[in-house]
Structure 1
Amino acid sequence: MSTEFLEKTYLTTHDLAIGTFSFYEHVVVGQVREGMQICMDNILPLLALSWEAYRNTSVVYISDRKYSYSLDPTMYYEVKKLAPHITGYAWVVYNEINRKIAELEARFVHCPNAIYPTIDNALQWAVNLLQNEGEN
């Protein structure tokens, strides 16, 4: 599922100070660099790119948590105001610690969200979410 979807819908990749973000039609897959401390100041470039690419459409963000980093989860309230086009948020986690962190963060995300062990699972969820949104 993921390889075919990603190949068909790929738009561009942005290598930013905080990580690498691949933009697809209606999906962004982000991988934040090891040890980063995420704050509003350092995600503003990503939000600006997201606004340019998706402001008139829905997008699901998939956080590929391959590396450990920190953030203040209350930041999600501000992100929602600046990026209302984000209609879903998924975490891909590779260990129990990151699962627990994602569960905590999920409490602050006010859109459909889910936690998965693989990119394939997260992409399938994102596609289903987007399809269901289009039916409503």
Structure 2
Amino acid sequence: MSSEFLEKTYLTTHELAIGTFNFYEHVIVGQIREGMQISIDNVLPLLALSWEAYQNTSMVYISDRKYSYSLDPTMYYEVKKLIPYMKGYAWVVHNDFNRQVAEIEARFLQCPNAIHSSMSDALKWSLKILEDSSAV
């Protein structure tokens, strides 16, 4: 399901200083670069691109957490204010350490969120969230 959905709904890819972000209809899949320190300031370019793409619809962000990086999870409070159209946030984790980090981050999110071990599961969950919010 995941590869079919991704093929059919692909919009564009953005290479930013902090990572690679694939935009699909109603979904962004992001992969932050190894060792990055994420702040609201270096996330602003991504927020601006998401605003351009999704301001009139709903979306879910999927963090493909392949690499380790740091962020202040309180920035999620600001992110939610800046992108109110975000209906959910999912992580795809590849090891126990990144799962533990995602569990901490999840406490700061003000939208539905879930941690998955595969992209397919994260996409299924995302589409359900979007369906429940009548976005698709």
What's the counterpart of residue 104 of structure 1? 104
Q: Distance in 2 between matches of 1:94 and 1:73?
A: 20
Q: How far 1:131 sits from its partner (Å)?
A: 1.0
Superimposed CA distance per residue, residues 40-83 of structure 1 (whole angstroms, 9 cap, x where no aligned partner): 11000000000000001100000000000000000000000111
- SS for the counterpart of 2:134 is helix
Q: Structure 1-normalised TM-score?
A: 0.98
Percent identity of paired positions between Structure 1 and Structure 2: 72
Aligned pair count reads 135
Give RMSD over aligned pairs: 0.8
In the alignment, structure 1 segments of 5+ residues that lack a partner are none
Q: Distance in 2 between matches of 1:121 and 1:31?
A: 17
What's the counterpart of residue 38 of structure 1? 38
User: Given residue 124 of structure 1, which amino acid in structure 2 is its aligned partner?
Assistant: K
Q: How far 1:93 sits from its partner (Å)?
A: 0.3
In the alignment, structure 2 segments of 5+ residues that lack a partner are none
Q: How far 1:23 sits from its partner (Å)?
A: 0.2
Superimposed CA distance per residue, residues 69-122 of structure 1 (whole angstroms, 9 cap, x where no aligned partner): 000000000000111111100000011111010000000000000000010000
- SS for the counterpart of 1:89 is strand
What's the counterpart of residue 73 of structure 2? 73
Superimposed CA distance per residue, residues 9-53 of structure 1 (whole angstroms, 9 cap, x where no aligned partner): 000000000000000000000000000000011000000000000
Matched, 1:82 2:82: yes
What's the counterpart of residue 95 of structure 2? 95
Q: Distance in 2 between matches of 1:3 and 1:109?
A: 27
Q: Distance in 1 between matches of 2:98 and 2:39?
A: 18
- SS for the counterpart of 1:15 is strand
- SS for the counterpart of 1:131 is helix
